[in-house]
Amino acid sequence: MGIVTSLYRGLIERLLAPHDVTWAQFALLLHLARQGRPSRISDIAHAIEVTQPAVTKVVQKFLRQNLVEIARDDQDARNRPVRITALGLDRLAAIQGSFGPMFNDLLAGWSEQDLERLIIDLTRITQRLTEMNKSASTRDEAE
């Protein structure tokens, strides 16, 4: 899995370069889009496995570009959750759309059954990794 992860990340980083977006920045946009609701800086940092100062720096960059916005928390004024904007969703869709030719080449020759199995397996691994990360986070917070 380590080799696949390394190769995939390298490929994605090359595809992100023309968009002036790093892997961590892309991961932040993906996380916010997937969440569908505002997220705290600390939660984003944990989810995409970067430091809180790094997330803060990316959020500031994306605020200037109107890709994210800071939501209001009426219960706690200190809490400043971040949410992706419509422009951020459009930018993310454009970035992901640019990956199309690469994914077509990558999956050329795969049968529909092979692709369905890949999606099922990747979904299962993603769900399990998410559960494991949440469990580890809960243990870390308890200590």
Residue 96: its pLDDT value, please?
95
Of 106, 13, 28, whose CA–CA distance to 62 is shortest? 28
pLDDT value at 98 more than 70: yes
- For the chain, domain boundaries: 2-108, 109-143
Q: What is the pTM of this model?
A: 0.79
pLDDT, tens digit, 9 for 90 and up, residues 13-62: 999 999 999 999 999 999 999 999 999 999 999 889 899 999 999 999 99
pLDDT, tens digit, 9 for 90 and up, residues 60-78: 999 999 999 998 777 777 7
Those residues whose C-beta lies under 8 Å from the C-beta of residue 58, and which sit 6 or more positions away, are: 24, 25, 28
- Architecture of the structural domain at 2-108: Orthogonal Bundle (1.10)
As a whole number of angstroms, the distance between CA 1 and CA 62 comes to: 32
